[in-house]
Structure 1
Amino acid sequence: MDLCLRIGELLLSSGAGAADVVATMTAVAHHLGLRQADVDVTFTALSMSYQSGPDEVPMLLMRHVRQRDIDYQDLTAVDHLVRDILTDRADLYLGRSRMATIVSLGHNLPRWGVTLAWAVMAAAVGLFLGGGAIVAVVASVSAVAIHRVQLFLGRRRLPFFYLQVAGGAIATLIAAGVAATAVEVDTSVVVTANIIMLLAGIGTMGAVQDALTGFYITAGARFIEAMMATAGIIAGVALGISLAEFAGAPLGLIEPGEAGELGDLPLIMVGAAVSAAAFSVACYAPWRGVVPIAALTAVAAAIQQGFAVNGFDRVTAAGAAAFFIGLVAYAVAGRVRVPPLVVAVPAIVPFLPGLSIYRGLSLLADGGAATSQGLLALVTAVSVAIALASGVILGEYVAQPLKREARKLEDRLAGPRLVGPFRALSRAERRALRREA
């Protein structure tokens, strides 16, 4: 039970859906001998109970989720551990030892590498929005400052809301400083690029997935967390504008979410691919998955643009791109030996409705005639988020039986092999390989 709770804690803190956490914990517990263990997951706590007999007192263990850092390196290691347990390549003792090693070791990527990845992501988003080279440079410098300041504040245990306030203020003040010089820069696009960086790690997809799978308490808590993080950005941008005006360098009107003239399709695809790849690197994704994630995101961006050009609305275009991501992510994850979550979440980052949420809350804060526009923006944002999450989940549901049928066809058509096993696998071996895949 302790091993299952530790596995579930790491999965939940890395953004996995509550249904996936429950299924993983239940599978491990059942395989190790606890046939009827009850697992309950909320946003901040996991509990597991087991009653060995009708006359025995049930045993209950709980574990609180205190840290919520997206860490795809540890997530991948835990996924491999679960697979080894379910295929009897690791027993309970080895599983607990490996779990303790996973949570105690550091990362292969140094902290300055993570900062550089966030800078690359902000620069790619700036180019994607049509801001040009100057906007990309200013956005990357702002991203470096934001990440380092947030690390400093995070070590002092400040709530995430205040980290977002600091990020929004820094982005606005740096844009104001550049605008006060002779350099011509679109401050709205600069601030927007950094807003996307601040919103990239918010678990909107996990919240929608929990709502679709019936975990409404966890879904509601994740939605509130996303709203509070976005409200922190609003407060930070407002603070930055006030400080800039006090210092004599007014920015004028900043339109959150405003983009410049979008370039041609290759620029859109490259911007989306680089931003998704940089986000995956910043979250410590294994290097073998970075290039496939970039390629998948580029194709998904082309699909979204294709739907948009042909007159489809934003929700339909986002849903089509997400369905493709979910359909392909299952196969890509199997090839590069990572969980599908590591592929799907970075791939949908360029399509997240964070800017619509920001615009909606900003208009609601203004009040008056802007209230109706703010509500419309929030409804659109929720619709896009549901389309993204449901599209990815539907794509994975479709991909699983397709992969099974493709494997059967490959077994029937396979002739003499030039590499690999030369003998026919037994039925038990084939089942083990299928479970591993």
Structure 2
Amino acid sequence: MRDWRAEHERELTADGLDDEQEEPLPDPRVIDLVLRVGELMLASGESTEVVSEAMLSLSVAFDLPRTEASVTFTTITLSTHPVGEQPPVTGERVVRRRTLDYFRVGELHTLVEESALGLLDLEEATTRFNRIRRARAPYPNWFITVGLGLIASSASVMMGGGLIVATAAFLATVLGDRIAVFLARRGVAEFYQMTAAAVVAATIGVALLWVSVELDLGLAAGAIITGNIMALLPGRPLVASLQDGINGSYVSAAARLLETFFILGAIVAGVATVAYTAMRLDVHIDLDSLPSAGISMEVPVLLGAAGIAMAFAVSLVVPPRLLPAIGALGVMIWVIYAGLRSVLEVPPVVGTVVGAVAVGVVGHWLARRTRRPVLPYLVPSIAPLLPGSILYRGLIELTQGTAISGMLSMVEAVMVGLALGAGVNLGGELVRAFQHGGLAGAGMRGRPAARRTRGGY
């Protein structure tokens, strides 16, 4: 496609035109389609590099000359420069609303691929895009909410909680999500929505802990809070931020990373408020009995890992046919992590990186084999290692006066999160290093992340 594009643009230069031949102008319908496809891909959760490559592929497929695409966290710009003395034409769209929807991302990838292969003309591509934009998700809205609750209940099972704790974690997370939706409809900022959801789940967890202590039930009620933290943790923006940064999109990377830390701040504010209130009310939270899956590879823990990954995928609207593979990847990352921790006694960050790299390699291989986007495989699969229990321990330590231990736990949670994002990205780079062919729009050497700052190729 790059050779064809270069030859085609040489034919469109002023030297290649007859004196009586009119200079072609870009088709505004193509510009509109490319911008709208890029906008919907970015709003649905795709990384900026992939969005840029998709826009360049469409511009090649539909004969836009000398095209440049610029994608940031919220803005998409497309510029095309006609031949001769015609001025350049530039269009821009702003993403004002984000709704994570990997079903639409996959359909848009198929649209771009078929257009690039010449299987769709402009009218057919526009019709297909409008159909994708209006299409219903494979899950009803209530089932996506259920998916959030299943993340928390699966995490509580991994942490040793029984049926009562798993049910309470499910109800607490769903209730917190509904309260967040109510606040969103009232125009309340997302930061406070996340804080409210964390407060609701933490309150239910502390209440069940008090009942368990008073009645001597022996319930691992703290797993409710841990499960809710796992459901709220920003796995998708964390992975996307590190991908954008390593790929050279520094503005988008900084914005996504800031979004990640704002979400973490909302979770910390909500849980810490409830934990401090509980301490003032003499509800004792024993640090030695905080829930943690440790390095266990028992059947309930493995089932919990698979459940977290698949439930996370449902909340991201991943197509149902991908769920078994995602569940297997969730089990794989936990087995690698727990195996390294138990056999080689490596630190948690090292086990996390190795597991994430393995998932990155397998996820990118599956994406290439199935010709699907890679993020629907990667983002849910790292969910079992999200540092929910570490973050919860750090918050409890801070509220109980052990500030140094609490800060160390918080730093460890951030390091584990960054290790997950960097690991899956490294796995993708390993696959890219040995693959045949390059990216559709720019090629392997045309990647911003591949350009050398010293010397030459």
Taking structure 2 as the reference length, the TM-score comes to 0.79
- The corresponding residue for 2:253 is 219
1:41 to 71, 96, 121: 71
Query: Aligned AA for 1:143?
Result: T
389, 397, 415: which one aligns with 2:421: 389
Name the SS of the counterpart of 2:129 in structure 1.
Answer: helix
1:25 is matched with which residue: 24, 42, 55? 55
* Aligned match of 2:112: 82
The residue correspondences of 1:35-434 to structure 2 (distance < 5 A) are 35-53=65-83, 55-181=85-211, 182=215, 183-200=217-234, 202-241=236-275, 251-253=283-285, 258-260=290-292, 262=294, 263-309=296-342, 310-334=344-368, 336=370, 338-353=372-387, 356=390, 370=403, 374=407, 376-377=408-409, 379-399=411-431
Task: For residue 96 of structure 2, give the secondary structure of its aligned residue in structure 1.
Answer: coil
Q: Could you tell me how far apart the structure 1 residues matched to 2:315 and 2:259 are?
A: 21
Q: Which moved more, 1:389-398 or 1:127-136?
A: 389-398
**Do the aligned partners of 1:15 and 1:70 also contact (CA within 8 Å) in 2?**
yes
Distance 1:398 1:257 in 2: 40
Counterpart residue identity of residue 333, structure 1: A
- Following the alignment from structure 1 to structure 2, what is the Cα–Cα distance between the partners of residues 329 and 340? 6
- Farther-moved stretch of structure 1 (39-48 vs 99-108): 99-108
Q: How many Å separate the matches in 1 of 2:233 and 2:288?
A: 13
Q: For 1:109 and 1:326, how far apart are their aligned partners in 2?
A: 26
Structure 2 contact 234–264 (Cα < 8 Å) conserved: no
* Distance of 2:223 and 2:254 partners within structure 1: 31
1:425 match: none
Q: TM-score, normalised by structure 1?
A: 0.82
Change over 3 Å in CA distance of 1:242–1:317 after alignment to 2: closer
Instruction: List gaps (5 residues or longer) in structure 2.
Output: 1-30, 438-457
Give the partner amino acid of 1:395: G
- For residue 147 of structure 1, report the CA deviation from its aligned partner: 2.1
CA distance in 2, matches of 1:366, 1:179: 17
CA contact (8 A) 2:44 2:102 kept: yes
Residues 176 and 244 of structure 1 are in contact (CA less than 8 Å); yes or no, is this contact kept in structure 2?
A: yes
Q: Computing the radius of gyration over CA atoms, which structure comes out larger, 1 or 2?
A: 2
Q: Secondary structure at the residue paired with 2:382?
A: helix
Determine if contact 1:268/1:301 at 8 Å carries over to the other structure.
no
Kept in 1, the 8 Å contact 2:160–2:220? The answer is no
Q: Give the Cα separation in 2 of the matches to 1:394 and 1:257.
A: 36
Q: Residues 254 and 332 from structure 1, CA distance in 2 versus in 1: closer, same or farther, beyond 3 angstroms? A: farther
Displacement of 1:36 after TM fit? 2.1
Deviation at 1:342, TM superposition (A): 0.8
SS state of the match for residue 203, structure 1?
helix
Q: 1:33 to 1:228 in 2, by over 3 A?
A: same
Contact 1:322 1:348 in 2 (8 A): yes
Tell me if 1:10 matches 2:34. Answer: no
Cα distance 1:398–1:55, how it changes in 2: closer, same or farther (>3 A)? same
Q: Is the 8 A contact 1:206 1:222 kept in 2?
A: yes
Q: Percent identity?
A: 30
Cα offset for 1:286?
Answer: 0.9
Aligned-residue CA RMSD (Å): 3.0
Q: CA offset at residue 22 of structure 1?
A: 1.3
Structure 1 distance, partners of 2:396, 2:244, is: 27
Structure 1: 5+ residue stretches without partners: 406-437
- Any conservation in 2 of the 1:77–1:102 contact (CA below 8 Å)? yes
Give the secondary structure class of the aligned counterpart of 2:196. helix
Give the letter for the 2:79 counterpart: S
Size of the aligned set, in residue pairs, is: 401
CA contact (8 A) 1:188 1:254 kept: no
**Closer, same or farther in 2 for the Cα pair 1:214/1:127, shift >3 Å?**
same
What is the identity, as a one-letter code, of the residue corresponding to 2:428? Answer: E
Amino acid at match of 1:69: T
CA separation in 2, counterparts of 1:95 and 1:256? 59
Give a deviation string over 1:323-375, Cα, whole Å, max 9, x none. Answer: 21121113323555532211111101222346656766887x8799726852x
Q: What's the CA shift string for 1:256-315, capped at 9, x where partnerless?
A: 994246443433322111100011112211111001110122122111111111122222
The aligned residue for residue 5 of structure 2 is none
Against the structure 1 CA distance between its residues 187 and 97, is the aligned structure 2 distance closer, same or farther, given a 3 Å change threshold?
same
Counterpart of 1:434? Answer: none
- In structure 2, what is the Cα distance between the partners aligned to 1:258 and 1:25? 49
